[in-house]
């Protein structure tokens, strides 16, 4: 009995020693492989990093590793302080070397023809004909007033109100989804190539169809705007920062004529 017990203990000890030796050998494999190779310490991604990640997030997900110089691209990141103010242009996966070309200015990631959404806001798109969007004279970054108009229903009269002021426009598109500004610019260029301006050239410079105007508002405001768009009408006014907000409240037929 005692012999079998001693034999079992000895086997366990041998197994432990073998495991330790194997791990030591494996851990030293990289060092042995690089013993006669010139290396350079570069930052290697340890955890997945999404596109658009800021410098702090990148720094927390990388570590310095010795890499053969022959395997290092021309633009490795060797100083994390150089990343300040930049973001990743693509997603990075573990094992990748951190390259300067993968980090860009945040403005480079902005979608063309869009304005940045303020923190805490939601984006909402309303489809409107040209007469309700100041003749199409809107661009991302503009601010507008939003008029909500509801028809008569039962005993409730028809009413209109300039409900929201200085609302940020984040995008303006045609009903096809094309950027409205680019479409208008292209039409004007094609119209001007024919020589003099006539009435047909002027009309062709204005994109046809409805406009898709995306605005940024808190959730509660978005609900009211959707209700008006579904059961009434929405109009937009061009309302820059200096515009006065001296509205008269809810307007019905008793307030139209004075």
Q: Which of 36-40, 59-63, 109-113, 202-206 has the highest mean pLDDT?
A: 59-63
Please report the domains of the chain, with CATH numbers, ordered by start residue. 37-108 (3.90.1210.10), 122-256 (no CATH)
Mean pLDDT (the chain) is 82
Instruction: Output 177 or 252, whichever has higher pLDDT.
Output: 252
Residue 197: predicted pLDDT = 36
Candidate ranges 47-51, 74-78, 157-161, 198-202; pick with highest mean pLDDT:
157-161
Cβ-count burial 212-248 (b if 16+ within 10 Å, e if not): bbbbbbeeebbeebeebbeeeebbbbebeeeeeeeee
Distances in whole angstroms, Cα of residue 54 to Cα of each of 45, 106, 177, 184, 207 = 14, 9, 30, 35, 39
User: Quick one: average pLDDT of 61-85?
Assistant: 88
Give 186 or 95, the one with higher predicted confidence.
Answer: 95
pLDDT tops 90 at residue 238: yes
Tokens of 129: 């004909």
- Quote the pLDDT of residue 181: 65
pLDDT at residue number 199: 39
- Is the pLDDT score of 107 beyond 90? no
> What does the pLDDT look like over 149-177, one tens digit per residue?
999 998 889 999 999 999 999 999 987 76
Top pLDDT among 105 and 6 is at: 105
How far apart (Å, rounded) are the C-alpha atoms in residues 54 and 160? Answer: 45
- What is the pLDDT averaged over residues 114-132? 90
What pLDDT sits at residue 103? 87
pLDDT band of 202, cuts 50, 70, 90:
very low
Q: What is the mean pLDDT of residues 64-77?
A: 87
- Residue 6, token pair as written in the block: 């001693």
Task: Identify whether the C-beta of residue 140 lies closer than 8 Å to the C-beta of residue 215.
Answer: no
CB 221 within 8 A of CB 122: no
Q: What is the pLDDT of residue 195?
A: 44
């Amino acid at each position: 009995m005692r012999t079998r017990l001693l034999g079992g203990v000895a086997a366990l000890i041998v197994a432990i020693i073998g495991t330790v030796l194997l791990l030591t050998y494996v851990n030293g494999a990289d060092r042995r492989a690089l013993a006669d190779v010139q290396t350079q310490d570069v930052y290697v991604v340890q955890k997945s990093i999404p596109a658009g990640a800021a410098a702090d997030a990148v720094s927390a997900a990388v570590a310095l590793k010795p890499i053969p110089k022959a395997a290092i691209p021309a633009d490795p990141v060797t100083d994390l302080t150089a990343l300040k103010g930049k973001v990743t242009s693509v997603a990075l996966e573990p094992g990748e070397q951190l390259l300067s070309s993968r980090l860009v200015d945040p403005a480079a990631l902005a979608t063309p023809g869009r304005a940045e959404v303020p923190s805490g806001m939601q984006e909402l798109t309303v489809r409107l004909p040209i007469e309700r969007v100041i003749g199409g004279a809107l661009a991302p970054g503009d601010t507008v007033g939003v008029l909500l108009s509801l028809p008569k229903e039962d005993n409730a009269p028809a009413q209109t109100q300039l409900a929201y002021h200085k609302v940020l426009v984040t995008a303006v598109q045609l009903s096809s989804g094309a950027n409205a500004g680019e479409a208008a610019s292209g039409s004007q260029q094609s119209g001007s190539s024919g020589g003099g301006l006539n009435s047909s050239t002027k009309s062709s410079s204005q994109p046809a169809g409805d406009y898709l105007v995306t605005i940024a508002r808190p959730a509660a405001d978005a609900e009211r705007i959707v209700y008006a768009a579904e059961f009434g009408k929405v109009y937009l006014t061009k309302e820059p920062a200096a515009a006065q907000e001296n509205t008269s409240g809810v307007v019905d037929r008793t307030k139209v004529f004075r």
